[in-house]
Amino acid sequence: MKGKKYLLLSLVFMVFTLLAACSDGEDGKTTASADKVYTLKINTALASTDPIYQGIEAFKDRVAERTDDKVIVEIYGNGSLGDDSDVLEQAKVGANVAVLVDSGRLAEMVPEIGILSAPYIVDSYDEANKVAQSDLFKGWEEKLASEHNLQILSFNWYQGDRHFLTNKKIEKPSDLKGLKIRTPGATVWTETISAMGASPAGMAFSEVYPGIQQGVIDGAEAQHPASYGANLHEVVKYIAKTGHFQLITGIVAGADWMAELPEDYQAIVYEEAQKAGEEASENTIGQLADFEEKMKEAGVEINEVDIEAFKKATEVVYEKIDGYADLKDEVNKILGK
């Protein structure tokens, strides 16, 4: 009898412990216990010199301050948590991880969202952000959460326009013929590079420097802050300013992990992610010319090109990927084009 009584008391104690750890506030919403700490690990391919990375640092600090260090954000730069796709898979199953990722990667789950990574679909950050804040995008966001258990915290992190970095001068699409160019592995990216005449090569961004240095690839396409942060100006002679992608990205975490946060913490995370994204994007825009000048001073020749020739070459992408022609029309309606 004593054993049964002890077991019963133990069970009662456990119940009260659980109730104390997670109780209802005055408004009926779930609130956390005073000692519960939540940690979110954010993966990014970017280096600490990048204004977007610095924006994530600001996000980290503000979330910690507003939650009294109950929500801790840890930043893993240079892709140190692994490939973006692998981190997304971990987030899907409830791991406390997130990743700064482009819509091309997310298109593997929600194909329509990839249109925001299509060539020349938008001409600036303002246009890209207008699409990302639209009802059309919100529908894709909801589908990502409901069908794939991934939650976008904010999708307004602008990293700049992407250009070609090579050891051969590129002035027109035909100059890319025969070159092996690194690009992220998503379909819309690889189809774009192929349409311009090059052979797309998927590899981790951290492998681009040695890849060019050792002749594994002939070059890459990237935005100035990332190119400078990875020291690619040390292994290429030319940057052709094609601006074929306007790279806007988002922080994506697991929907289950976000749901575990008390609602007041969730609100703080969303608010600060949106705010930090806006500030980091403006900082990026303000520093693009500076990054370009630094690479120029290091000996890289930076040349303007006839953008129209590259636009024309990539028109085929909208026909090759199912539904993209119609999606382009929807985007143009949002932008009033």
For residue range 82-100, list pLDDT tens digits in order.
999 999 999 999 999 999 9
* Distance from C-alpha of 37 to C-alpha of 225, rounded to nearest angstrom: 34
* Distance from C-alpha of 98 to C-alpha of 100, rounded to nearest angstrom: 7
Instruction: Give the relative orientation of helices 125-132 and 135-148 as an angle to the nearest 10 degrees.
Output: 60
| In contact, 131 and 140? CB cutoff 8 Å | no
Report the relative pairing of strands 301-304 and 238-241 from DSSP bridges: parallel
Tokens encoding 179: 């070159």
Tokens encoding 23: 């109780």
Tokens encoding 322: 């199912």
The stretch 144-164 carries a mean pLDDT of 98
Tokens encoding 18: 């659980």
Instruction: Give the relative orientation of helices 324-335 and 135-148 as an angle to the nearest 10 degrees.
Output: 130
For residue range 177-189, list pLDDT tens digits in order.
999 999 998 999 9
pLDDT for res 130? 98
| In contact, 125 and 246? CB cutoff 8 Å | yes
This prediction has a pTM of: 0.89
Q: How confident is the model at residue 155 (pLDDT cuts 50, 70, 90)?
A: very high
- Residue 61: CB atoms within 10 A of its CB come to 13
The stretch 228-234 carries a mean pLDDT of 97
For residue range 279-289, list pLDDT tens digits in order.
999 999 999 99
Q: How confident is the model at residue 219 (pLDDT cuts 50, 70, 90)?
A: very high
pLDDT for res 32? 52
Tokens encoding 89: 């898979």
For residue range 18-61, list pLDDT tens digits in order.
344 444 444 444 455 568 999 999 999 999 999 999 999 999 99
Side-chain-side CA neighbours of 74 within 13 Å: the count stands at 10
> What is the share, in percent, of the chain residues with pLDDT greater than 90?
89
* Distance from C-alpha of 295 to C-alpha of 238, rounded to nearest angstrom: 10
Mean pLDDT of all residues in the chain?
92
The stretch 165-187 carries a mean pLDDT of 97
The stretch 126-137 carries a mean pLDDT of 98
Select from 117, 143, 187, 115 the least CA-distant residue to 333.
115
Which DSSP symbol is given to 231? T
- Looking at domain 36-335, its CATH architecture is 3-Layer(aba) Sandwich (3.40)
Select from 288, 243, 203, 229 the least CA-distant residue to 53.
229
Q: Which residues contact 128 (CB under 8 A, 6 or more apart)?
A: 116, 122, 158, 246, 248
